Structures are given as structure tokens and as C-alpha cells.
Structure 1
Amino acid sequence: MSGRRAAFSKTTPAAGHRTHMVGRTPKNTVQDWIEAAQRTLVDEGIAGLKVDRLANRLGVTRGGFYHNFKDRDEFFDQIIAHWEATCRFLPEEAPPPKAGDAVEWLDRMIARLIESDGYDYHFDLAVREWARADKRAEWAVERADRERLEVLQRFFEALGYDDNHAAIRARVFYYHQIGYYAIGVRQSIPERRKNAQLYVDILCGEEALSAARAAALKNRKAKAA
């Protein structure tokens, strides 16, 4: 502790800088730091996650960081946990085993991706870039990819594909979508909505989707009867 205070005393901001900080409402909760880290990671990458820089952004002193986190390792672990909890590529519920119900699950997933509802692809890509240089981030990304692919495979199995075909279609679907974001394709939400069905037909297979949608329609009619 004494070493930390000594380091801090040498880097105390000049009077003019402190006046700038006084003009802002300080934010010093764990969530404040994590949200600031998320924005910085997206804008600047891992190189931007410096304690002094984030403290200035939040309008607090460097000591505010150590009030909330033991060290940078704990801070980074919580950033990753936040990413895992909030950056949801898939709907929270598992895909139903029957084709008619599974295709409605697909429609919910596509709507979420189009609207970026519950899935911030900027944050997702920033963590993926971080994973190139940090093992803990790399493991988290590998775990998330594995879990997402397993869920997508179950969806394709519900459409009637065998294990091998379902696994390959899951990869093609997922890699297409992540690649779409990574390349930086720029489209308005109306453009995304307009093309979504064609993409889905190609990626999922028109014949399997047609059968699933027919089953879904039959289910809705049965419920309405």
C-alpha cells in the first residue's frame, strides 16, 4: 500500500487538470469502471486500458481504481465476465427440438442481430482483437465460440439435419455473421431487414426452412382453433 501511495503522489495532476476534473460528476463504482473500459476497448483497443486514462475519463483519482479492484488482473477478469454476460449472440433460451418451434427461435435471433439487441458486435470484435495478445481473453473467446456453435448445431439438428451436416451449417452460419461484422459491411437496418430472409434461406437451406415454416404455421393454427 505504501508503495502505491508513493507512486500516486508522484503523478498527482497539476492544479489546472484537477479543476477540469472538479467540473464533472465523479463516477467510481465497479460498473462505471467496466462500462468505461468497454467504451475504451472498442475505441482504442487494449492499449487504451490504462488506469490513469480511465480515471481521468471517469473524473476520479487513480486511487478510485484500487477502491474497486485489487489489481489489473481482477479488472480484466471482470471486463471479460461483463462481455460474456451482456454480449449475447444468441437468444437466452435454447432452440426447441421441433422444427416448427426452432424456426421461430431463428426469427428471434435474426431480429436481435439486425437490431443489435443484446449483442454489441463492436464490443465482441474488440474482445476478439484483445484475444490475439492475451491468453485469458483468448480462452474466453474460444469458450464463447464453442458454446455458440453447439447451440447453432442443435438448431440445425431440429431442422432435420444429421450431426455432421448440422455442425458444418452451424459453422458456416456463425463464421458468415462474425465475418460480416469483421469486414465492416455498412448497411442500414432497413437494408438488413430487406436482405435477411435471402441470407437465411441460403445459410439454412430453403427446403428445410420451408418445411419448418409450414410446421410453425400448422402449430399456430392449432393453437388458434
Structure 2
Amino acid sequence: MPPADNHDTKWKGSRDAWLDAAFELLLESGVDSVRILPLAKRLHVSRTSFYWFFKDREALLGALLERWREKNTQGLIQQTEAYAESIVEAILNVFDCWLDAELFDSQLEFAIRSWALQSDMVSRQIDAADEARIEALTRMFVRHGYETLAANVRGRTIYLTQIGYISMKTQEALEVRMRRMPAYVEIFTGKTPQPHELRRFHARHGYEPEGDG
């Protein structure tokens, strides 16, 4: 016979399960669809079990925003602060975010930005996140010797380019995106990436250019 706590967990779900289901509904149908009864049906649990984890629907929505801040804003900032011997390596650390959903979830970003169109509160959260992310990118360039204004412009250019990708739901095959990366690096930094820098970046993402091997 399974332990009682396992039985309770199955009956109630878990906080992360509720959040995962809420994110799925947010992505599929927008914030108005994120309601307790549809979530309970999706999780095959009792509606009342929701209250083991959240005070009310507003608390759930707040937790979704917190998950977004922790994953995307903190994920991006941490990548700007990762060790790099050159600005090229630093930029490639940031580019990891665009290829690894564990570092930065583009679908979650799109869903939150869509929600912001209906909510002044969420719009303010987006504004704060944008400012923090651009500031982190600016600091990264300054650490690598760029003057403050130039650092800010380069940071803004990188960031707004990627937000454009997300907002337009642009889809690129890995091969296509990897071929474009050296040109993006050169445009954003003014430096040409060296073969060893690109090899390390490719290896992190399991990519092998044609002719290598």
C-alpha cells in the first residue's frame, strides 16, 4: 500500500503541476482561460485541492509571473554574468538563452507579453524586466571595455532583436540560425568570432557544421 503522503499528492496534484497547467492554458487560450475549474479538470484532481497551494486565482497568477521573472529575467542576467574571455564569448553565452529553453523560455515570454496587453500591472512588470535585462547587457559590454552609451545601444539592439523574434513567433531551423550567428556577433560587437569560440558554442548545442567531423 502506498504511503499516505503519496496518495495525498496524487489527489491534490502539486504546486508545480498547477503552475504547469496554468502556463499551458495561458499559452493556448490567454489569461482569461486560466481558471481553477478548467485547471482541476486538466489535472484530474479535485477543484478544492487548488487551495492547498494557492489562496486564490490571483495568487496563482502571481506565481506565474514569479516563475517568469525567475526563469527568463534571472536566466538572461546570469548568462550576461557568466565567465567569458572576450566579448564574443560573452555574447555567445547570451545566445545560449535563445537556443536553450531551460535558460530562457520564449513561449513563456510570448504568453506573458500577450497577457500584458490586457493588464496594466503585467505591463509594468514587463517594463521592469526589459529595463533590468537591458541594463545587464549594458554592464556586460562595459566590463569588456565599451563606453557606456555604446554599451547600452549594443545591449538594446541585441535584446530588441530577440524580442522581435519572439513577438513575431519567428521559426528558424537550427542550421539556419547557427549559420547566421557569426554575422549577428559581428554586428552586435564589432568583433569577428574566432573558430575556437564558435566550436565551443556549437558543441554546447549539439551542432556540427557541414564539413566538420
TM-score bin (small chain): 0.7 to 0.9
Work out whether residues 131 and 137 of structure 1, in 8 Å CA contact, stay in contact via their aligned partners in 2.
yes
SS of the equivalent of 1:108 reads: helix
The equivalent position to 1:183 in structure 2, one of 168, 183, 186, is 168
Work out whether residues 87 and 189 of structure 2, in 8 Å CA contact, stay in contact via their aligned partners in 1.
no
- Percentage of matched positions with identical amino acids: 27
How far has the Cα of 1:115 moved from its partner? Answer: 3.6
- Figure out how many residues of one structure are paired with residues of the other and give that number: 186
- Structure 1 residues 58-137: aligned runs within 5 Å: 58-88=43-73, 90=76, 92=78, 94-95=80-81, 100-137=85-122
What is the alpha-carbon distance in structure 2 between the residues aligned to residue 94 and residue 185 of structure 1?
Answer: 23
The equivalent position to 2:182 in structure 1, one of 182, 186, 197, is 197
How far has the Cα of 1:160 moved from its partner? Answer: 2.8
What is the alpha-carbon distance in structure 1 between the residues aligned to residue 25 and residue 72 of structure 2?
Answer: 16
Pairing 1:32–2:17 present: yes
Structure 2: gaps of 5 or more residues: 1-9, 198-213
What is the alpha-carbon distance in structure 1 between the residues aligned to residue 157 and residue 121 of structure 2?
Answer: 26
Ranked by relative contact order (alpha carbons within 8 Å, sequence separation 6 or more), the top structure is 1
Q: Which residue of 2 aligns with 1:10?
A: none
What is the alpha-carbon distance in structure 2 between the residues aligned to residue 43 and residue 140 of structure 1?
Answer: 21
Give the letter aligned to residue 186 of structure 1: Q
TM-score, normalised with respect to structure 2? 0.77
What is the alpha-carbon distance in structure 1 between the residues aligned to residue 124 and residue 140 of structure 2?
Answer: 25
What is the alpha-carbon distance in structure 2 between the residues aligned to residue 96 and residue 120 of structure 1?
Answer: 18
What is the alpha-carbon distance in structure 2 between the residues aligned to residue 199 and residue 145 of structure 1?
Answer: 21
Instruction: Give the stretch that moved more between structures: 113-122 or 126-135.
Output: 113-122
The equivalent position to 1:146 in structure 2, one of 114, 117, 131, is 131
Structure 1: gaps of 5 or more residues: 1-24, 217-225
| CA deviation vs aligned residue, 1:72-109 (integer Å, no higher than 9, x gap) | 12111111111111235525255379x83443222222
Give the letter aligned to residue 148 of structure 1: R
What is the alpha-carbon distance in structure 1 between the residues aligned to residue 188 and residue 86 of structure 2?
Answer: 18
